[in-house]
Amino acid sequence: MTSYGSGSDLVYLSATEARRLFEARELSPVELMRAVIDRAEKVEPVVNAFTERLFDEALQGARQAEDRFLGKGGLAPRPLEGIPVATKEKHAIAGRTLTEGSLVNVGTVATENAPVIDRVLDAGGIIHARTATPEFSIATFTHSRLWGVTRNPWNPRFTPGGSSGGAGAALAAGTALLASASDIGGSTRIPAAFTGTVGFKAPYGRVPGVAPLSADHYRGDGPMARTVDDCLAFANVLTGPDPRDHVSLRPKLVLPTAYDPVAGMRIALCVRLGAYDVHPEVEANTRDLAQALRDAGAVVEEIELPWTREDILKCLAAHFSTIFGALVSEIAAEHREQMSAYAVAFADTMAVARERISYLDGLRAETALQRELGEAMAPFDALICPTSAVPGLPAGDDLLGRLVVNGEDHGEPLWAPMTIPFNINNRCPVLNVPSGHCSWGLPTGVQIVGHTYDDATVFRIGKALEQLRPWAYTPDHQPAL
């Protein structure tokens, strides 16, 4: 195979373009993997996205992928053949550590692969690194006592978000072409927004998960990438039923790769979601993106939702205290001294919530919000709104008090991300795409929200926005690391 471009050119290739170059024998999977590894060695001391490096195994996998593209051994290339994929540490790999960022779990070794890991490997993806999360993946930032602070490549004073912060940081830093993520309250979309990448929260059941939290209807695993096409291709690999997950949907959905333009579509714009105080720069970028859709022939109408903070808090308190919070509380009962301050605070808050609100109370609140969203969206094909009310969060801050950034008080940290309403409405597919940049040196993002299980529509709009307002990682548009 011939040599292609410089290391910088290679590491910011899209996965779909890399796959095309492999097929054309213009690029070797080995050359690409070496460039990604070299990039990681250079930037990881600043970014700290990786918890484990599997570089030797990855180079061997790249050699095997090269043989497939050269026709050796009679094996055809698979959908992700030769593509460097960073996977979230919580996505278990048999025989490797499974700590979820907690000192409590040091020494724990996974006994089988998570379903998303099997999907990556079966598709020919090469897992070259595992990515950092906050402890137990419970926060909107990424740092822990076990792994230290993960930083945003666009501005290291800020976090890349959480809980899939290592995934977003790796994509933005050029140390992965694809990354696995998960989302129970925004853990895919928040880091995608803060790092200028693309993240897909699939509808509940679309991507198989791991028991017992696979039964939690707020959560789900999914793909992150730098382009919509890459995110779509990765989603097509990850979706489909798995016998280990009773709620995984059949038949497997295969999304189309080509879509009609947005002309004639009806799209709702909701800036505040009823309850959020949105930073002026985030709002401006969101409105600019809405105008781009109008200019392309879509009908964009601004709406407001009747949601209140009290409504959303009822859902959160009842749901998280009953399931995820109860799990963390069990751990805190025995291992409190080994846990991060934010993990302990989460466990304690959930213990109080369990005494004050029932799961049934939460279901009543959830179904009210779900109906209100359904009725508001009924005249439209989709809805767009900001992903975060503020452009970024400070790196290394446990966010246990007020959110103070750049000397400005932005209120309670809970109301920074605008993602949780769509975990409450978790049958809706949601795609984060970049909406622009802010004066903090960070990207901003918008959520494209579809009707229940209408995945194709959010990708249709996402692909249009990528053409209308390009965010490609070109030499003049990438972090200065």
pLDDT at 413 over 60: yes
pLDDT at 2 over 70: no
pLDDT at 298: 98
The pLDDT of 298-303, averaged and rounded, is: 98
pLDDT at 129: 99
Q: Compute the chain's Rg from CA coordinates.
A: 21
Q: For a pLDDT cut of 70, what percent of the chain falls above it?
A: 98
Q: Tens digits of per-residue pLDDT, 170-215?
A: 999 999 999 999 999 999 999 999 999 999 999 999 999 999 999 9
The pLDDT confidence band at residue 418, using thresholds 50, 70 and 90, is very high
pLDDT at 407: 83
The pLDDT confidence band at residue 357, using thresholds 50, 70 and 90, is very high
pLDDT at 128: 98
Q: Tens digits of per-residue pLDDT, 28-41?
A: 999 999 999 999 99
Write down the pTM of the prediction: 0.97
Domain boundaries, the chain: 7-468
The pLDDT confidence band at residue 9, using thresholds 50, 70 and 90, is confident
pLDDT at 7 over 70: no
Mean pLDDT of the chain: 97
Q: Is 7-468 in CATH node 3.40.640.10?
A: no
pLDDT at 249: 98
pLDDT at 5 over 60: no
Residues designated catalytic: 88, 163, 187
The pLDDT confidence band at residue 3, using thresholds 50, 70 and 90, is low
Pairwise pLDDT comparison (83 vs 405), residue with the higher score = 83
